[in-house]
Amino acid sequence: MPRIVSVGTAVPEHILEQQEARAFATRLFKDSFRNFDRYLPVFDNAEIQTRRLSRPRQWFEQDRGFSERNRAYTETACRLGEEAVRRCLEPVSLSPAEVDHLFFVSTSGLATPSIDARLVNRLGLNRHVKRTPVWGLGCAGGASGLARAYEYTRAFPESRVVLLAVELCSLTFRPNDRSKSNLVASSLFADGAAAVLLTGDEVSVDHLSGPLPRVLDTMSTTWPDSEDVMGWDVTDDGLKVIFSRDIPAIVRKGILPAVEEFLSRTGISLDRIRRFIAHPGGAKVLAAYEKALDLSGEALTHSRRVLGEYGNMSSATVLFVLERELKERHQPGEYGLLTALGPGFSSELILIGW
């Protein structure tokens, strides 16, 4: 089965403390809602301390057109994408020219040529490298992209494949959108990039130390009539966030049946899963995972710490969690479950074994 060899991450240099974000949102939204103060606990309850932004916080105080924000997306996505891929490949002494296929996942900006095409020259990729850009998967994109990369390496076991997820959620912020969804988004979303290297069975990894996790199976689920739970409305001045308050309830109700269906076909029971690599969509979402799957308080430690240090970076976030998981010591025969939720409304599940 294909192996996960390494993960590299990158974030912008501009740090936003959560209390600064709270003050910024207060100035912007306080005249938009009656009894505005009752909405402010969303910043404290998010369990986020810091986030990273592609531009200084003051940049967002002025109204920016969609074209200006998207130019910032293209520039920053190329820079962070290059950094994440290099950090992924360098520890295993692999040259970018040796990558056979680059999967690129993003939902927070638009670019044609796509970001992966622009990275061919920046990274020194082989000019014949295969590329697959994927747009619109939102927070599920990191897990979904990993699943697609796994399928490719199964079909072509001699391949070295890189998945790159870049999300610059801050650049979608529209100060004239005074909706509750935009207020919640301002308390939660951030920017970051992550790259994962997968290899097929015919690629030698004998020179690497320690057991490498193998991707054993994947499953995608899209719940019917749920398109309005999460996503974007495309407006004249950019992408308007759709963010339902019902997401934690949907997780509590829907995730356990999906996980049980997935594991039943693998022959691995839920009580044999020792590692949980969950996309931290928010503190309430993680609490819903814990309740639905009856997890211990320590099971989602990496997810909570990534959320606290970086916020929700959409598709890239679960790969930050994966990076921390790979630094742990594992016993042969251990199993892990990687999971993320996104627009659709959809779930991605990946079974990993050491």
Q: Which residues have a catalytic role annotated?
A: 139
Q: What is the enclosing helix (H) or strand (E) of 215?
A: strand 214-222
Question: Which tokens hold the place of 42?
Answer: 């969303």
Question: Which tokens hold the place of 130?
Answer: 């295969």
Please give the Cα distance from 183 to 39 (Å, whole number).
9
In this structure, are residues 165 and 141 in contact, taking their beta carbons and an 8 Å threshold? Answer: yes
Please give the Cα distance from 64 to 98 (Å, whole number).
40
Please give the Cα distance from 55 to 16 (Å, whole number).
10
CB atoms within 10 A of CB 61: 12
Closest-CA residue to 282 (of 319, 229, 245): 245
Residue 77 one-letter amino acid: A
CA distances to 32, 78, 228, 304 from 160, rounded to whole Å, are: 51, 21, 37, 31
Instruction: List helix spans (H) across the chain.
Output: 18-29, 41-45, 66-89, 115-123, 141-155, 180-186, 247-264, 283-293, 301-310, 317-326
Please give the Cα distance from 287 to 247 (Å, whole number).
12
Please state whether the peptide bond connecting residue 345 to the residue before it is cis, i.e. omega within 30 degrees of 0: yes
Question: Which tokens hold the place of 113?
Answer: 């040529």
Please give the Cα distance from 202 to 158 (Å, whole number).
5
| 197-200-202-207 Cα dihedral, nearest 10 degrees | 30
Closest-CA residue to 63 (of 212, 217, 173, 200): 173
